[in-house]
Chains A and B, each alone.
Chain A
Amino acid sequence: MNYAIEIKDLTVYYNNTCALSGINLTVAKNDFLAIIGPNGGGKSTLVKSVLGIVKPQNGEIKIFGQRPEKYTVPIGYVPQFSHSIHDFPIMVIDVILTGRLQRGTGLFHRYSKKDYEIAENMLDKLNITHLKDRQISELSGGQFQKVMILRALATEPELLLLDEPTANIDNDSKTQIYEFLKEINRSVTIILITHDTAAISSYVKNVACLNKKLFYHGEIELDNDIIQKTFGCPVDLIAHGVPHRVLKNHGE
């Protein structure tokens, strides 16, 4: 069977704090998986373990059947928004070009003509060619996120991981981004961390609910019980266009 990701018994601790415990998760090729869960529930940790940024205490991760060290195709990664990155003095085109860098980039490296072509094509895909020579600090939140997504895609990945790409951006940009992700999902497996329930109902194929443990993984028919277990309290969730409005009191 062709899996994009196979995770077995993954456990991650930060010092003595447990972030993830006993995660078993398989993601099919060309899946569009949303990971939901409360803050501090280990969503980013899971993604960072797959990327190899966080070293797990226990468990095994395979990407397209290979161990992360052996898997040499770049993984597309869109990190959570950070102010220190947004303030950096760099132009849009140069940000996207960094996606063309690789391990073993030698002395006096210069980007090739092909790198420039790929980067400019990327700008075209989200209609932001006019922003090419702009400083990223001048961009709006939505424009900035588009640049970060294009940088990730400039690596020509088979797997794209996004950490809350649409937090705090306007609805138009959101729709544009999700439509674009849907389009590239034909060739790229996507894993998306999000709190955006509207996006889950209309763009995503599968959902994983994460709060230290994996509480659910499958299609988007979520019932209250699973939500209750994941978040520890009732939450509003719209699934498949049917509102599951939960108005119970908090159990604490």
Chain B
Amino acid sequence: MLKALFEYNFLQNAFYCSILISIVCGIIGTVIILKKLAMMSGGIAHTSFGGVGLGYFLGIEPIIGAFIFAVAAAIGIGYIGKKSHRNSDIATGIFWSAGMASGILFISFTPGYPPDMSSYLFGDILTVSKTDLLLTLILDAIVVFFIIAFYNCFRAYLFDDEFAAVLKINVNLINNILHVIIALSIVILIRAVGIVLVLALLTAPAAIAKLFSGNLKIIMLLSILISLLLCFAGLWISYQFNIASGAAIALLSSLLYFAAHIFKKILKLKTGREIQNQGSRL
């Protein structure tokens, strides 16, 4: 495959894309698991399908439609969650279905032969274009800048937003920026792993990293590495065995997540036994 990597342009694009989306996954994924926004992210991803449909219907680039729908969903779910003084579970569910339904509706209204939606639903990292790469690169720059520039405030907000608000830090602004960034990240990831499978790559690396570190910075860096590993492995499997790349990456993510949990359990049992042994020797 290494030789092919140098020969084929599409493999090079997939390789760069893996690196770029891993940076987003590591950072935003960590935020998502710490703020328990996994379901909201799933909702945003599925709502953006409506935007893809609208894009086809109006004859504009579907990914732009997806951007608009995802940002609207992120802000909408966040707003309803805040207003109703409880979690945004119901709003997430409604947006989720309504987005998918409107996507299907728009496509059936689109004249002519229906377009193939599977690359949006299940992703295809092997077909990313130069434009996709450029968009991802811009998003990476925004995310990395935001996190580094506001790290202290941002961590205080993630840790305890109420206390941050008491300190008169503009929590609402951080919250809105974060929701928009999550929405943008999801749309970027759709190209690689698809609407249906995006959640695996977004949550598994960060969740695995959190098992092994208690430092926010290290969790973010570690999940970038894990995500990179998953993307490369998925890419390789997909190339070697001619399997859909999105499915390979999502399935590997889930497997690694369960493996990491079991590994951690065994590690705990072992150290527990060692402590017991030391205790009995004393």
Contact = CB atoms under 8 A, between A and B. Distances in A.
Interface of A: 14-15, 51-53, 72, 74-75, 77, 79, 84-85, 88-91, 94-95, 97-99, 101-103, 105, 107-111, 135, 137, 151, 155
B89 interface: no
B109 interface: no
B24 to A, nearest CB: 20
B153 to A, nearest CB: 5
B159 A90 contact: yes
A77 B160 CA distance: 12
Nearest to B36: A84
Contacts of B213: 89
Contact of A90 (B149, B155, B163, B167): B155
Contacts, number: 80
B61 interface: no
Contacts of A74: 166-168
Nearest to A90: B159
B90 interface: no
Contacts of A109: 150-153
B216 interface: yes
Interface of B: 34, 36, 85, 148-153, 155-156, 158-160, 162-170, 210, 213-216, 219
A99 B151 CA distance: 15
Given A107-B150, A108-B149, A53 B167 contact: no
A18 to B, nearest CB: 15
Contacts of B167: 74, 98-99, 101-103, 155
A103 B163 contact: no
A89 B35 CA distance: 12
Nearest to B168: A103
Nearest to B84: A15
Interface SS of B by simple majority: helix
Contacts of B148: 108
Contacts of A51: 166
Nearest to A138: B214
Given A79-B163, A84-B36, A109-B153, A89 B210 contact: yes
Contact of A101 (B36, B152, B210): B152
Contact of A75 (B149, B166, B210): B166
A89 B216 CA distance: 6
A77 B163 contact: yes
A90 B166 contact: no
Contact of B85 (A14, A97, A107): A14
B86 to A, nearest CB: 11
A106 to B, nearest CB: 9
B215 A89 contact: yes
Given A107-B150, A108-B148, A110-B152, A95 B166 contact: no
